[in-house]
Structure 1
């Protein structure tokens, strides 16, 4: 006996389900896009401009063994699932459509049996995940303590040591992998990145001859900006060996070696003190919420009295604990953690820092991601040649999906400015912001 699911009513009837019928029956109100499969079956509106094509049985196994975003990511990364009508370097329109109109319903036990029997028990055997996928959380827990020096180095390498040439094509000449500042909104990506680093420098009140520590410095863009534009002696540290090598070469190339330095080093291993300013641009997402007290304590100790700290990181619109989704955790930022700006401010205050200012740049990040997607599309063939199509697909999906998240206030970006005050309470901060 085989079974068939009436996609309109959800009833189980006699007859074998096609892949299209099985997929289409799981959506309230029907699919918002056209779905086609290798067995010739279809679902969704025939005139839809955007579609999804399941190419292989392995792709079906990915979907059946990991329902939700992880199974879709595996099939898409492996090339077993294609998005139709959008460029793989920028699937934004498809993701918006799915976000706005996709409403899954929970199938009954009888429907689950019908689907499994119709599509084949063999598809419940999980295929090996694509090579771009990192270990699951439980495997990472077995192999190392979360946010230990060794484990942090491994997960940072997973994301950042992809290919400096790949990042050059996606990020553009600035090599800045953090939210830019679009002022005006029509600014180019390069002008917006320069504006962001200058905003940080002005918030920190950098002056010639001062010392700046930039933790999680990436390819050293802030370090070079501070040295070149403000005459500051700047030290940057990053856990990515490829970033450090690229950044130090750029420092030499720009003739800034007398003022700037980038080291391949964990920020916790920095022992120098007496810095006039500390910038942390895009590091805090990686350190873990429970480590915030130690993080702020360490950075406070690097500052001299009256010194300023600027913390720039992705946040949530609430202060509840929430793990990242499976796709982001396995393919993009393993061990990444986000929380609301209130938790960050409280942690800074609890470690003796005075918080003077907080600013949300959420919509600026949506624009930044839009421009990174455009770069990926423009250099698609070169990017695929550099890192492979699977990795390029992951990046297109990740950037476009993140853009949707920032636009819909599912994630935000906050800059928090604080000072280490003198023992008598003097901060050196003006009565009104001076940038």
Structure 2
């Protein structure tokens, strides 16, 4: 039995996708703009050993399988008929695969691509969310290459959800290089600044500050003395250079350090933009208690992070693609869980907002940037890593559009006695 016949048995003869394989067999719609090409027997080995999204990812990242056409369209199409819940092969089909690939190749496990962080590799770093393991997880994802991130993220070097208006959020502006993404990232930082009520002379702490976008915005636009902390040495070095270039050294600084080492009781405002996903559910109470202690009475915290749409859904899939290839040890909580943890730490919850659709748009822009700079990106980080990013960003667009994940901003105030310091009708 040739691979095209197996493909048709698994997904049906009317799949809206073009299928080709190294054995010369074809299936599916020959006119489809989306094509799945199995280049070598190794791809079949990966899929046979992990007949799900992990196997597909391994085959694609390693180059033994190709997805042709727009990646978002390909994933959207494939999600409707295959790999979503795993492929259930009959005994006869499995035997046919064995004969096609060869018994020796089938039974000998193929090592995952080097881009994959296996559970055993993570376990060797110690317990989940210890300082050493957190630092290694951050290093895996954020210390890829500053030049690579410049190509993907654009001028703002902001790796968190932007905030679009109706004009900047038009789909025809994705990939147009007309400043829509930069305007939306500025708008996001300004939204955070307004929720925090930043004014000249305040002291801001931005935990998990990335390349310093919020620190720079607060200092440049509001005259705030801003300090950012990150576990990524490369981020801290890049941000420090940008701060010097903009002449903001008297107001802004970025430190390579753990947020847990920042002194208590010294800040008027705290922003946490895209860090809570790395904290872990077991550490939420301690995390928000720590941030509460770092604020002066009357201070505010704005927490911005990816969330689960419901509190009763699993927090993470430790064996899934995202955890293995993108965010090792990442965990997502529901917005209700986050609010409870903030509330229990002492914060009065003042505002909550879901920006789910905005993150889908942000990811579309990043994906378009990657495609426009594909050759240079491959030269910078290697084709395997570039493939991880192409797959991950397109998949995340789908995730946010289909309400698999959300993005919440939650504003909390540390009361000064019973005084919140909040305006009666804030203008956000």
Give 1:229-268 correspondences, 5 Å limit: 229-268=221-260
Deviations 1:289-319 (A, max 9, x none): 1110000000000001110000000001111
Is the aligned partner of 1:123 residue 2:101? no
Moved more, 112-121 or 76-85: 112-121
1:35 aligns with 2:19: yes
DSSP-derived class of the 1:223 partner: helix
Equivalence map 1:21-420=2 (5 Å): 21-28=5-12, 30-86=14-70, 91-102=71-82, 106-121=88-103, 122-136=105-119, 138-186=120-168, 188-320=180-312, 321-324=314-317, 326-420=320-414
Moved more, 212-221 or 95-104: 95-104
Residues of 2 paired with 1:132 and 1:118: CA distance?
28
User: Once superposed, which parts of structure 1, at least 4 consecutive aligned residues long, lie more than 6 Å away?
Assistant: none
Q: 1:185 to 1:344 in 2, by over 3 A?
A: farther
Contact map agreement 2:13 2:27 (CA 8 A) in 1: no
Per-residue deviation, 1:115: 3.4
**What is the number of residues matched between the two proteins?**
413
Structure number, greater radius of gyration: 1
How far apart, in 2, do the equivalents of 1:60 and 1:35 lie? Answer: 14
Give the whole-Å Cα distance in 2 for the aligned partners of 1:379 and 1:213.
34
Question: CA offsets, 1:275-296, max 9 Å, x none?
Answer: 1100000000111011100000
> CA offsets, 1:91-123, max 9 Å, x none?
111111112343766233444344334433222
> SS where residue 158 of structure 1 aligns?
helix
**Alpha-carbon distance in structure 1 between the residues aligned to 2:398 and 2:304:** 20
Deviates more, 1:183-192 or 1:107-116: 107-116
Q: CA deviation at 1:30?
A: 4.4
Of 196-205 and 31-40, deviating more is 31-40
Do 2:308 and 2:315's aligned partners in 1 also have CA atoms closer than 8 Å? no
Deviates more, 1:196-205 or 1:141-150: 141-150
- Structure 1, 263-272 or 247-256: larger mean CA deviation: 263-272
Q: Using the TM superposition, give the Cα deviation of residue 271 of structure 1 relative to its aligned residue in structure 2, in angstroms.
A: 1.3
| Alpha-carbon spacing, 1:113–1:58, altered in 2? closer, same or farther (3 Å) | closer
Residues 78/198 of structure 1: CA separation in 2 closer, same or farther (3 Å cut): same
Q: TM-score, normalised by structure 1?
A: 0.92
The alpha-carbon deviation at position 230 of structure 1 amounts to 0.3
SS at match of 2:151: helix
**CA separation of 1:68/1:105 partners in 2, compared to 1, >3 Å: closer, same or farther?**
closer
Matched residues in 2 for 1:28 and 1:285: separation?
38
CA shift, 1:238, in A, is: 0.3
Structure 2 residues without counterparts, runs of 5 or longer = 170-179
SS of the aligned residue for 2:80 comes to: helix
Structure 2 contact 264–293 (Cα < 8 Å) conserved: no
Other-structure match for 1:7: none
Contact 2:6 2:93 (8 Å CA) reproduced: no
TM-score by length of 2: 0.93
Q: Which runs of 5+ in 1 are unaligned?
A: 1-16
Residue in structure 2 matching 1:429, options 422, 425, 428: 422
Distance across 2 between alignment mates of 1:111 and 1:135: 29
Cα separation, 2, equivalents of 1:84 and 1:204: 45
C-alpha separation between the residues in 2 aligned to 1:67 and 1:306?
Answer: 54
CA contact 2:264–2:295 (8 Å) conserved in 1: no
Evaluate the alpha carbon distance shift between residue 225 and residue 167 of structure 1 in structure 2; reply closer, same or farther with a 3 A threshold. same
Contact 2:265 2:293 (C-alpha < 8 Å) held by counterparts: yes
CA-based RMSD: 1.6
Are the equivalent residues in 2 in contact too, given 1:310–1:417 (CA < 8 A)? yes
Question: Larger deviation: 177-186 or 320-329?
Answer: 320-329
Tell me how far 1:225 sits from its aligned partner: 0.3
Q: Give the drift of 1:342.
A: 0.6
